[in-house]
């Protein structure tokens, strides 16, 4: 089911797939994440030296029932960078909201 979700068996859509198979080990990926975090001056704790896991969640309210996959972790290599990106996006969203409110006030 997981391989089907990531499109592993669909050869026709191989070029346009979201997910691609990599031959790197988990340790190699963690080391790559450490280097990328340093690029953005993001500090990583030692307890964050792990990758997130993929969780399966049923959507029982659907008929027929379906499933959803979520990458999750309480502590992983991308946590601090993800948090930083979320804060930036929230700031952009707030600035856009203020801009739209001003346009609305001037157009009355």
Q: What is the pLDDT of residues 37-87, one digit of tens each?
A: 999 999 999 899 999 888 888 888 888 888 888 888 889 999 999 999 999
Rounded distance, CA 57 to CA 6, Å?
15
Measured N-to-C along each axis, helices 79-106 and 26-39 cross at an angle, to the nearest 10 degrees, of 50
Q: Are 41 and 25 in contact (CB under 8 A)?
A: no
Q: What is the pLDDT of residues 95-104, one digit of tens each?
A: 999 999 999 9
- How are beta strands 53-59 and 66-72 bridged, if at all? antiparallel
Q: What is the pLDDT of residue 12?
A: 62
Rounded distance, CA 23 to CA 46, Å?
24
């Amino acid at each position: 089911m997981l391989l089907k979700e990531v499109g592993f068996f669909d050869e026709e859509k191989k070029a346009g797939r979201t997910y691609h198979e990599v031959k790197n080990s988990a340790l190699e990926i963690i080391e790559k994440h450490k280097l990328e975090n340093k690029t953005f001056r993001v500090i990583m704790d030692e307890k964050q030296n792990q990758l997130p896991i993929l969780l399966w969640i049923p959507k029982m309210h659907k008929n027929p029932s379906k499933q959803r996959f979520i990458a999750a972790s309480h502590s992983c290599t991308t946590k601090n960078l993800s948090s930083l990106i979320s804060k930036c996006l929230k700031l952009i969203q707030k600035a856009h909201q203020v801009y739209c409110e001003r346009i609305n006030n001037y157009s009355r």
